[in-house]
Amino acid sequence: MKKAAVQRYAADESIPAICEDLQVALSTLYRWIKLYRNIELGHHSYSPLEFDAISRRLIKAEHQLEIIRLTEIISKNATTNAALFLDPN
């Protein structure tokens, strides 16, 4: 019933009409829309759960990349400092 209501909304049926027909509150239908509508990006369509999972993976990958960048900076600085220590001229 929830997904069918969201599909009706996606087909441009008015929210008040859907709510009246299903005898649900406006806030309930808005919550269903948030939970069940597909997110269209380019030629791909994602459910909210899929989109959230992709977002979490992206954030994790960005953090890992930042760690790698910082590690490389620290490694370069350590190498430079060691070279200066061994040959201060």
- State the pLDDT confidence band at 87, using cuts at 50, 70 and 90: low
40 DSSP β-pair partners = 45
Residue 27 has which token pair? 């806030």
Strand blocks (E) in the chain = 39-41, 44-46
- Can you give the residue ranges of every domain in the chain? 1-37, 48-89
pLDDT digits (tens, 9 = 90+) for 7-32: 899 899 999 999 999 999 999 999 99
pLDDT at residue 82 is higher than 70:
no
The pLDDT of residue 42: 80
pLDDT of residue 21: 94
pTM: 0.52
Per residue in 37-77, pLDDT (tens digit) is: 877 778 888 888 888 899 999 999 999 999 988 888 777 77
85 has a pLDDT exceeding 80:
no
**E-assigned strands of 6-87?**
39-41, 44-46
Token match 């919550």: residue?
31
pLDDT, greater one: 11 or 78: 11
